[in-house]
Structure 1
């Protein structure tokens, strides 16, 4: 059975995603080269096997003989868009081939209506519990993409402090609770001077909230000394806050990564090889490197919320993931910005993954009580 080429090879609209990094632009492709490259990438994504000229001629009604297709594929290989693995007669896309497909040949990412409704329904059911939202979003991304769903909790330094509480645990220990707009909470244990009454603590905490609430944690860390310097305090709590400000209002060093869908990504053909599976688990164990890969080099304010970025293969600049692609998008909880995405082999359904990541990022960024059409 012949499968016709879809009409309108490229829907010429500004793509709702952006490139994480691009190599030097290659020579422009003519229309036939663009068509063959697109079909090779799509076929390889579908079959996970090298794509030959006879396969394309049989599968697609493109009006070209196998010999003409083979010649075009050879040209694309010489230009670096395709590779010729081992002694196979077929070709596979290179990182440049995937990059060109994502940037110029792929249809605009669009989610099926039933999948969009599923994501919307689950987000509404969860409500305002950030931890449950993160857990469920990674599970859904993993399930629907058959890859690995990942989320980075927002950088607390970008979040706005709603209130600070001090919960006494003993006569000399207390727990500082920082509630950040958007439902984020950070807790830290501190040592207190003995003999403090609950009334004394409440009075001082009220003064601290009066001076600090409504500011980002980064701003508090930088300016709390002059904001609090004139407060009279016989409890020592203000001085404790000043002394501990670099820790209290800092970015946590770990614990920001959540992921789901390992059972799905392990079913992909690429991860039947022990070395690739080992690289995946090494990446998941290295939180610092994983954060770097997911956040990239741009600050939260530099990237549009809900617009996906794609990093392919060697663009990740890490040997462990040079055969992986990473699709991410920023989301916003209150004033704090986090990252959500999907990790998989370079042979992934980019159009579908981009649509999933973008939709989930926008849903996480929306107030729960907002009507979703």
Structure 2
């Protein structure tokens, strides 16, 4: 898995024995949330308890394991998790039932990305027992495929902005004249000739210049709406409108969050869509070598520069729809099942990028 650009990682490779012991310590701790002693590994590793203790001590000296004061066992450090995710992790697929649940969730809401995001974030939270996040694409980067205008009344219309890749936005508008139904189709056709193929950001900047001459002979009032309300009509959503977050009840039930201050941090994160969008759209959340693969950010890697850093990790993968980019993520304690988180976010990202047709 991709690693941030500046990890604090000790020099020198681990021996096969050290890698095996570290892998098993991490897996055991993920499964139990309890510090791992040599006896817990004795049945899994063909080593004596004394050899296991020596290897664990060496891993602790190298910074990969920690030693809680109240226990004789060890726990992975952020460096330990980092090495585990990068070099020691085996990622397995989803069960057939889980894959069907996710596919059907996307299919049921096909064409309504906001609804897909809401439903899928909840399902991600349930399947991962973590915080599930689906970030809808930034529509200003989407390319207008066609503009449709539907009369709702004599002076009210519905603008449908259909973007490449299946995204759409609908906006209602009031006309300053009674719309002429016979002229509406011709006006919409002229608008599409001028605007289709441009991004919404380009239309916001240059739309008035492109369609201004159509207003003089427009008997529908539609062109005047585009000129008058273009910045709002072709706007992008605010960050908070783009993030669907589900599963907070699963996350706060994790043993790590039994301390009030940690629960507060997680609850604040779940309620702060702007912060989540910032996390998922930072450069660190995209791997330049594999721009469509999952990225894992662990503890202090999530928000560099923050004293102490957060007590959670983020696993995220982008998806692309018609040139616009969204993201799927799970957020949880550093003691998360990273392999399962990776396969979940990559699977959902693939579904959202290419939703099923049948």
Distance in 1 between the 2:285 and 2:227 partners?
27
Q: How far apart are residue 225 of structure 1 and its match?
A: 4.2
TM-score (norm 2): 0.85
Report the CA distance shift for 1:133/1:68 in structure 2 as closer, same or farther (over 3 A).
Answer: same
Which residue matches 2:45? 61
Which residue matches 2:293? 307
Which of 98, 120, 123 is the matching residue for 1:115?
A: 98
Report the CA distance shift for 1:125/1:234 in structure 2 as closer, same or farther (over 3 A).
Answer: closer
Would the aligned equivalents of 1:300 and 1:337 in 2 still touch at CA under 8 Å? no
Which residue matches 2:32? 47
Which residue matches 2:277? 291
The answer on 1:136 being equivalent to 2:119 is yes
Identify unmatched segments of 5+ residues in structure 1.
1-16
Which of 240, 247, 265 is the matching residue for 1:261?
A: 247
Q: CA RMSD in A?
A: 3.0
Report the CA distance shift for 1:232/1:132 in structure 2 as closer, same or farther (over 3 A).
Answer: closer
The answer on 1:26 being equivalent to 2:26 is no
Q: How far apart are residue 353 of structure 1 and its match?
A: 1.2
Identify unmatched segments of 5+ residues in structure 2.
none
TM-score (norm 1): 0.82
Q: Secondary structure at the match of 2:241?
A: coil
Report the CA distance shift for 1:218/1:74 in structure 2 as closer, same or farther (over 3 A).
Answer: same
Residues 190-199 or 329-338, more deviating: 190-199
Residues 343-352 or 17-26, more deviating: 17-26
Would the aligned equivalents of 1:21 and 1:315 in 2 still touch at CA under 8 Å? no
Which residue matches 2:346? 358
Q: How far apart are residue 133 of structure 1 and its match?
A: 2.5
Report the CA distance shift for 1:337/1:195 in structure 2 as closer, same or farther (over 3 A).
Answer: same
CA deviation string 1:4-46 (max 9, x = no partner) = xxxxxxxxxxxxx533554144212222222221111111101
Distance in 2 between the 1:96 and 1:74 partners?
15
Residues 299-308 or 154-163, more deviating: 299-308
Q: Secondary structure at the match of 1:267?
A: coil
Distance in 1 between the 2:287 and 2:209 partners?
27
Report the CA distance shift for 1:135/1:240 in structure 2 as closer, same or farther (over 3 A).
Answer: closer
Distance in 2 between the 1:320 and 1:174 partners?
53
CA deviation string 1:260-316 (max 9, x = no partner) = 222222221112222111111111222211101122227989685752111111111
Give aligned pairs, total.
352
